[in-house]
Structure 1
Amino acid sequence: MGMNVHPTSSPAGRLAAVGNQMIEIHLWLTAELARLRASLDTAAPEDAHPSRDLRAHCLAFCAALGRHHTAEDGGAFRLLADQVPELRPVLANLITDHEVVAGILGRIEDLLGGATPMPVARVRGELDGLAALLESHFRYEEKRLVTALNALTGQPGTVEDLLG
């Protein structure tokens, strides 16, 4: 059927309100992380079944967050660095955050990689650190970039290219 799940992307492939879309993605990622942490809190570490589901949920979240940051680095941030050079120091800070996040995601993936049962307490510790970092990262990114991103309206491209 080809239902369009991104109704804001116009048929012409022109960018519209990219900054608002970034906020939407951040809200979704934040809600997913909260769901993941809540499901960890109810998990019985010695029970293999929630562990398998949790492992899958964890890995899916890590992949989604990683995709978003990789796309920002190569898409939105590159475009802004070209068009709004005064934002380059802000973008450099955000890319540094992305590297820290990637390190946390790597540690989570390592924890999920082998151990059975899942080392719930250690995964929870990493997710707590990730949640604290993302909260400040997302706020800073939104405060500094939304207006500039929304000014890109009308340029060719897709939100997926810029934000993942």
Structure 2
Amino acid sequence: MLRNRIFAWHLELQDVHHRLEKALEEARKAIREGNRASALKPELREFCYTFCSALGSHHRSEDAEFFPALLEQMPELKPIVARLTAEHEVLSQLLADFQQALNSPESSPQELFRRINEIKGAMKAHFGFEEGSLNRALRVLDAPESDKQRMFGDV
């Protein structure tokens, strides 16, 4: 994968994260305003299908394409990428648990709200770590050689 393609991921990363956070907040609002879980479930199933698919696709793409290409250019990021990959697995399980709660007739709006808050907390921490850890490295890939040496020494 070319360096400019890796840098394009950098530009897309924050935009995708913000769109996912906004979608999650809309679902939280629907749960907060709902009185009955049964009335919420069709909306939430539709949301979950869209949101869970988007988040899962985003992470699968990072794991399969972006991270290997990034590590090829910057192998020193291996511990960071390992942590991000592990966080993808945690988020995947939280999404599966949320889907299971949606399918359970016993799930209350409070239970769904608790589960979606768990997703929000894990997602926010993950996105913050990912952006904080990778943005500087990704800017380096796009910087002219003279700037790279000034910022990071020999790269």
Shift of 1:147: 3.3
CA contact (8 A) 2:37 2:109 kept: no
Give the alignment partner of residue 24 of structure 2, picking from 12, 19, 33: 33
CA distance in 1, matches of 2:50, 2:134: 27
AA partner of residue 37 (structure 1): R
Structure 1 unaligned runs (5+)? 1-13, 154-164
Match of 2:116 among 116, 124, 127: 127
Partner of 2:13: 22
Residues 98 and 148 (structure 1 numbering): CA distance in 2 closer, same or farther, change over 3 Å?
same
The structure 1 segments of at least 4 consecutive aligned residues displaced by more than 6 Å after TM superposition are none
Deviates more, 1:22-31 or 1:139-148: 139-148
1:71 paired with 2:68, answer no
Corresponding letter in the other structure for 2:33? T
Q: Is the 8 A contact 2:59 2:88 kept in 1?
A: yes
Distance change in 2, residues 1:86/1:42 (3 Å): same
DSSP 3-state at the match of 1:132: helix
**Aligned equivalent of 2:35, options 44, 49, 55:** 44
Extract unaligned runs of 5+ from structure 2. 143-155
Scaled by the length of structure 2, what TM-score is found? 0.79
Establish whether residue 139 from structure 1 lines up as the match of residue 128 from structure 2.
Answer: yes
Which letter maps to 1:137? H
Aligned pair 1:85/2:36, yes or no?
A: no
Q: Is the 8 A contact 1:80 1:148 kept in 2?
A: no
SS of 1:17's partner is helix
Which structure has greater helix proportion?
2
Using the TM superposition, give the Cα deviation of residue 103 of structure 1 relative to its aligned residue in structure 2, in angstroms: 0.7
Percentage identity across paired residues of the two chains: 29
Deviations 1:86-130 (A, max 9, x none): 0000000011111110110111111223x3475322221111111
Cα RMSD (Å) of the superposition?
2.0
Question: TM-score, normalising length from structure 1?
Answer: 0.75
